[in-house]
Amino acid sequence: MLNKYARAFFTRVLTPFAAFLIRRGVSPDAVTFIGTAGVVAGALVFFPRGEFFWGTIVITLFVFSDLIDGNMARQLGRSSRWGAFLDSTLDRVADSAIFGGLALWYAGSGDNNILCAVSIFCLASGQVVSYTKARGEAIGLPVAVNGLVERAERLVITLVAAGLAGLHKFGVPGIDVLLPIALWAVAVGSLVTLIQRVVTVRKESAEADAATDAQAQESEATS
């Protein structure tokens, strides 16, 4: 849902910065790698220590690279299958680092095995949600469903909650409860989205198979 509205807005906002990087000779692939490295560092250095506020700040500074690299590629007229593949692959790496960092916190100093498991579920379900769409499209189906909680929603919900929860260390009482609530929300939303996509792929595959069978029968009848 957020992809539809937020992406267009931030693309317009970041276009001048993307043009600046192009003038400096920076390539879209370099932005992709640097952005992913920044997100991974922010997540795995700060989150396992419970430094959610600063970790979120670092991650947020780099997470917009996902929009900047694509913007640069379009301005350069270099949109390619390789760029799309690299971007999608490194998105999965960044997402894994974020939820992996949270899982490490709850497995260690956070001392909450249930929330550790929820974090791992968020990590795994996010990967599977992305895979279902990619696999469905790979077998020729449109997978015409957005789903309740996609990547943008997962990141926004989790990072906003983590950043606010980090204010607990600055003396804001009770605000740390936001992160567990967000993780549960992302877990449930991801499960619903996974079910939506599986149901959609099942429906579309049945329709495609029926159309193929009908064409085969028509071909036999006319031969």
Q: Give the active site residues.
A: 91
To the question of whether residue 87 is assigned a binding role by annotation, the answer is: yes
In the chain, the amino acid numbered 77 is G
Cα 17 from Cα 219, distance rounded (Å): 56
- Per-position DSSP letters for 148-217, written without gaps between them: SS-HHHHHHHHHHHHHHHGGGGGT-TTGGGHHHHHHHHHHHHHHHHHHHHHHHHHHHHHHHHHHHHHHHH
To the question of whether residue 176 is assigned a binding role by annotation, the answer is: no
Contact 152, 116 (CB under 8 A): no
Cα 200 from Cα 187, distance rounded (Å): 20
To the question of whether residue 38 is assigned a binding role by annotation, the answer is: no
To the question of whether residue 30 is assigned a binding role by annotation, the answer is: yes
To the question of whether residue 83 is assigned a binding role by annotation, the answer is: no
Cα 86 from Cα 32, distance rounded (Å): 8
To the question of whether residue 74 is assigned a binding role by annotation, the answer is: yes
To the question of whether residue 31 is assigned a binding role by annotation, the answer is: yes
Cα 109 from Cα 101, distance rounded (Å): 12
In the chain, the amino acid numbered 111 is D
To the question of whether residue 213 is assigned a binding role by annotation, the answer is: no
Beta carbons within 10 angstroms of residue 22's beta carbon = 16
Secondary element (H or E) of residue 4: helix 2-23
Beta carbons within 10 angstroms of residue 188's beta carbon = 16
| Binding-site positions | 29-32, 66, 69-70, 74, 80, 87, 91
| Binding-site positions for a CDP-1,2-diacyl-sn-glycerol | 29-32, 70, 74, 80
| Binding-site positions for Mg(2+) | 66, 69, 87, 91
